[in-house]
Amino acid sequence: MKTFWENPYVETAAYYSVVILCMIVFLTIFEIVTKYKNWEEIQKGNVAVAMATGGKIFGLANIFRYSIEQHDSLFQMIGWGLFGFILLLISYFIFEFLTPKFKIDDEIEKDNRAVGFIAMVISVGMSYVIGARIG
């Protein structure tokens, strides 16, 4: 049975499955944190929400990429992925704090694409910074 779990196809499928589950949980937390409903807004064609959500998805996937590269165990990968998610979430709150003249969530919900784009770039950019130190 040990050789079964060491098969690269099985390992890849296991990591993939766990990352998908983690991303669903983390995106649900992002959904709770934001004032708008991501998927309802995307269904309506809100490009700002799509960019911000896409940035979060890319950011999370990138953090997990680094975590998978640096760790041999599934549990270590999950732990560092969780830590990276928390830092990414903090980045979102810092972005909100640094823009006192307007509310990020309100602007994104109004389809302000400039704010949606910046939110996307922050998520993607910070995922590289976070990932660089996962180890």
pLDDT digit string, tens, across residues 61-96: 999 999 999 987 889 999 999 999 999 999 999 999
Compute the residue count for the chain.
135
Region 33-52 average pLDDT: 96
What is the mean pLDDT of the segment spanning 17-30?
96
The pLDDT of residue 4: 75
Model pLDDT, residue 129: 96
How many structural domains does the chain have? 1
Q: Mean pLDDT for the chain?
A: 93
Q: Which domain holds residue 17?
A: 2-132
Q: State the pLDDT at residue 135.
A: 65
Give pLDDT, residue 95. 93
- Residue 53: count other Cβ atoms within 10 Å of its Cβ: 24
pLDDT at 5 over 90: no
Write down the pTM of the prediction. Answer: 0.90
Handedness of CA 45, 51, 57, 61 (dihedral sign): positive
Helices vs. strands in the chain: H and E counts, helices first: 7, 0
- pLDDT band with cut points at 50, 70 and 90 for residue 3: confident
The position carrying tokens 């998610």 is: 85
Residues 134 and 80: beta-carbon distance below 8 Å: yes
Say if CB 54 and CB 114 are below 8 A apart: no
